[in-house]
Structure 1
Amino acid sequence: MQLALKIDVDTYRGTREGVPRLMEVLKKHGASATFFFTLGPDHMGRAIKRVFRPGYLGKVSRMSVVEHYGIKTLLYGTLLPAPDIGKRCGDLMRKVRDEGFEVGIHCYDHIRWQDHVAEKDAEWTQQELKRTVDRYSQIFGDAPKSHAAAGWQMNREAFRLMQQHGFSYSSDTRGTHPFMPVWEGEIIACPQIPTTLPTLDELINRDAITLDTLANYMLHLTENQPEQSQVFTLHAELEGGKWMPVFERLLEGWKAQGFELVSMAQYRASLKAEELPLHNIEMREVDGRIGKLAVQAQAYP
């Protein structure tokens, strides 16, 4: 029974400050994990445009965005120049790999991918992913083997590219178990390992869940799903920052429940692609998130 830890690293601050802290706590608890890096400019300040989206202000009101991301991050790409994460943090990223953790690609520009890929065409998507793959190769000296979409946002061409790049797996969806994805009748030959558990920022201050009860709520979810492997997505800016005590409680609780805390690659190694079921993918809403996400749907056909 495995629980794979998927770490999305969205910002310059999250890379510089959150990643080292997470490596330390993971080693302390004997846990493995996969770090999915944003490799280009940190344009997080441009997320201000989301204020006009339904539900955005509600989510912001449930957690202190300034506290977790910092004023400078919220101004990058608008009033402050955007730092290039890959250029400034390449040494740190290589250290993550050299310390024995799996590394993969999240995106080049988090805001560009999350806010626009769902509506963009094949040419835009190809160029955007090429920038990500090229930057990864510059930093690590080899080709990436895995991908995790920013904000669980994808389109048809993006799924095709997972296959064309020969990734061992991709983790771009929300769902219940690993599968081979089908997009509008087209089978994509790249295993999809979805996030199965809610993220902490989706739960906080909803249904009377507070910071003090957050870990217990999550542990209750995994305790009531015996013998089922899970994928938990955390964020370097949150669990690598103010929410680290909650994350440590989760690590301790999951070990007590009998989970082996693994990287996504370790989880993938336990799977046989030819035995994975086919499932459709739909864009639909997920509780606690804004807008529609790529979600594992009914079995195909």
Structure 2
Amino acid sequence: MTKTKVCIRIDIDTVRDTQVIPIVLEILDRFDTSATFFVTTGEDMTFRNFKNYLNPIKLLQKKAIQQHGIQQMLRGMLYKQQVQKSANVQLILEKKHELGLHGYHHYNWMNTLQDKKLEDIREWISKGSEMFEAAYGFKPLSFASPGFATSPEFLEALEDFNFAYSSDFRGKEAFYPCINEHKLSTMQLPVAEKSFGELEFEGFSQDQIYNIMINDLNDAQDFFVFYMHPSYEPILNRDLLFKVMEYITSSGKFEIITMHQLAQHIKKGDLDENPANI
């Protein structure tokens, strides 16, 4: 029986995310699995989200506060901290996990990409790639857009960088975007399901989230990209994460690989890919 390919995608958005990387790596070691990390570049501007927590309703979302940390957010207001410069990110490479580029200036990217022209987006990706290479000694081979923000201009800009793949959408199948019936050359590997945190915010219980994940895993035809952040799922949803990981690794139905390995499988024709109009 052919096993469904499972990729674990972990997005490093903030300095707080980098601080808990050792804990994440311990969990991956425990399950003897590889993962694909995407690290953002540029200044951590999470403190700009602070206004969201002044709303009493938002304040009740204690996990959101715990994820980012009030202290860390205030520190960001005083110091220009660059996410990619954290020494902990090097631990990912030492453990032989995959590391790709998660954009440039995460906060600005999420909130202003739709207003950017093609030339501006090219410059953003170029700056992010330069910062990535300066920090780790090699050019990024893959990309993931912060906040799944996309636009036709962004997809066209990706064409200049020859990434092996990009992961900028949610969905069940790999595809090559089409713009005005023109098929682009950068393969898209979508995330299959929302993160635990997103599902919690929508009001789902822990048991419901577990069932959603297991049902989606079992329904996956060829592959499933599982998505999380270091400072949320491994820290604030640890028991649920362990439960899902134990199912993936012990059921005998799945093979965990990196997203780069998945892209290679698809390009060799081992799995299907489709064009999709954007």
Q: TM-score, normalised by structure 1?
A: 0.82
Report if the CA contact (8 A) 1:105-1:147 is conserved.
Answer: yes
Q: Is the 8 A contact 2:52 2:58 kept in 1?
A: no
Tell me which residue corresponds to 1:181: 177
Mapped partners of 2:202, 2:161: distance in 1: 39
1:68 aligns with 2:67: yes
- 1:128 equivalenced with 2:124 (yes/no): yes
Higher deviation after alignment, 167-176 or 120-129: 120-129
Q: Secondary structure at the match of 2:70?
A: coil
Letter in 2 for 1:129: I
Confirm whether residue 215 of structure 1 aligns to residue 210 of structure 2: yes
Paired residues of 2:59 and 2:65 also in contact (CA < 8 A): no
CA drift of 1:189 comes to 0.5
TM-score by length of 2: 0.88
Cα distance in 2 between the residues matched to 1:6 and 1:142 = 20
Could you tell me which amino acid in structure 2 is paired with residue 198 of structure 1?
A: K
Q: Do the aligned partners of 1:6 and 1:232 also contact (CA within 8 Å) in 2? A: yes
Identity fraction in percent? 25
Residue 261 of structure 1 aligns with which residue? 256
Shift of 1:94: 2.4
Q: Which runs of 5+ in 2 are unaligned?
A: none
Structure 1 contact 44–76 (Cα < 8 Å) conserved:
no
Change (3 A) 1:231 1:61: farther
More helix by share: 2
Are residues 1:15 and 2:18 paired? yes
Cα distance between partner residues in 2 of 1:24 and 1:97: 14
Does the CA contact (< 8 Å) of 2:39 and 2:83 recur in 1? Answer: no
Whether the aligned pair in 1 keeps the contact of 2:118 and 2:157 (CA below 8 Å) is: no
CA distance in 2, matches of 1:261, 1:141: 27
Indicate conservation of the 8 Å contact 1:63/1:204, yes or no. Answer: no
In structure 2, what is the equivalent of residue 296 of structure 1? none
Q: Distance in 2 between matches of 1:192 and 1:226?
A: 17
Distance 1:131 1:244 in 2: 35
- Are the counterparts in 2 of residues 174 and 194 from structure 1 also a CA contact under 8 Å? yes
1:276 aligns with 2:273: yes
The alpha carbon displacement at 1:40 in A equals: 1.6
Q: Return the letter of the residue paired with 2:248.
A: W
* CA RMSD of superposed structures (Å): 2.5
Q: Which whole-Å deviations, capped at 9, do the CAs of 1:165-193 have from their partners, x for residues lacking one?
A: 11000001111200111134332101110
Q: Does 1:2 align with 2:5?
A: yes
* Long gaps (5+) in structure 1: 282-301
Q: Which runs of 4+ in 1 moved over 6 A?
A: 56-60
Q: Deviations over 1:58-79 (max 9, x none)?
A: 887656311111103333554x
